[in-house]
Each structure stands twice: as structure tokens, then as C-alpha cells.
Amino acid sequence: MSLPFDLHLMQLYLIAVIVLILIPGPDFLLVLGRGLFDGRRAAWTAIGGITLGNFIHSSLAAAGISALVAASPRLFSGLKTVGAIYLAWLGAKALREAWRHWHGGAQGAHRPPAQGHGRIFTQALVNNLLNAKVILFYLAFVPQFVAPRLGHVALQTFVMGQMVAVLGGIYLFVVAAFAAGAADRIAANRWFRTAVEGLSGVIFIGFALRLFFTERKLV
């Protein structure tokens, strides 16, 4: 029994997905920060939350539920607003940490205790689930590579979505390894931590604004 996939479309899809994964986004920033400031296990925990979020997104897209959300102006607007507020909160939190380290004097020279893994996992999961742009990705991008003539459209959508989760997870593991490897040398540096936290805060707020002004376009 042959699998219901167009090999040519699959090759194009893989290339496109790899390119998109390499573009930094909120998930990348979250894993990088956890790896730098909380260590390798914290970064792995964040990757687990992000991967679960992608699994849920692809499952909902395959079931057609995400299409209902995207097709409803109220639901989509509500999700988009909540997601933007959450990203803005992460940005404000990072800026607050940057301010604290900037004025922390000698206290900033010591590495602070890591966040709990449950909290990190939940933060990464919520960050991924509330990103309305991810819903649009699964509904506007993935279907372009589905071959309806081969049937099993839901299965094709689900498998392609899981490919994003797997490839994205592998890339984030590389990011986590790099960040954790550099953590002991640079994370305890007050000036470096201040700069990274401040830049992360600005970028998260930028992501929030970008998400808030995202339009509901599926074609």
C-alpha cells in the first residue's frame, strides 16, 4: 500500500519548511534564553513544550478545528489578541529583568536560580499555542503541498505538520546546545545578561505588535 503523498510536493515542502524554521521567532528566542540563563535541561524542557504545541496545532488542523477558528473573525481576533498580550508580557518581563540586572551591581554578577521546569514547559507550550500565526501557517502554507487527488487529506496535513514539529525540534536542540555551551562563560556576566534580556524584551514586544496586526488571510 503506497503512502498518499506527492514526492515532488514533499521535496518542495521540506525545502520551504527548513527555510522557514531557520527564521528566528518567539520559540527560538525562548529556547535561546532558557539555554543561556537556565541551562541545558531548561532549554530541553522548553523544546518539549513547543513540540507539544506544534503537535496539537497539526492535530487540530488535520481535524479541521483550526479552520473553524481561522474562519471565525471573533475567535481568531480573540486568540490573536490574547497571544499578542502574552508575548508583550514576556517582553515586559524580560525588560524588567534587564533593568534589574543593570542596576543590580555586584548582585548581577551571580547567576540567579533557574526557573522550575514545569513553569518553563507551560510557558513554552502557551507561547506556541497562542501564536495565531502558527494557525495560519498550518492552514495557509501546509495545504499548498497537499495532493487532494491522492486522498487522505487529513492524514497528509497531519504528517506534514508533524514534520514541522520534528525538524523544528531538531533545530531548537542545536540552538539549545549552543546556548547551554556558552552559558557558563557568559550568562553570569551582568552586562551581557542585561543586553540579552533587554534585546529579548524588545523583540518579544515586536513579535506581539506583529501578531496583533496579523490579518486573517488564508489564501
Higher pLDDT residue, 42 or 150? 42
- Percent of the chain topping pLDDT 90: 11
Least confidently predicted of 100-114, 154-168, 190-204: 100-114
pTM for the whole structure: 0.70
Greatest distance between any 2 Cα atoms in the chain: 67
Torsion-angle region of 29 (φ positive above 0: left; ψ -120 to 50: alpha; else: beta): alpha
Question: What pLDDT sits at residue 132?
Answer: 73
Confidence of residue 173 (pLDDT cuts 50, 70, 90): very high
* Mean pLDDT within 15-44: 84
Question: What pLDDT sits at residue 8?
Answer: 80
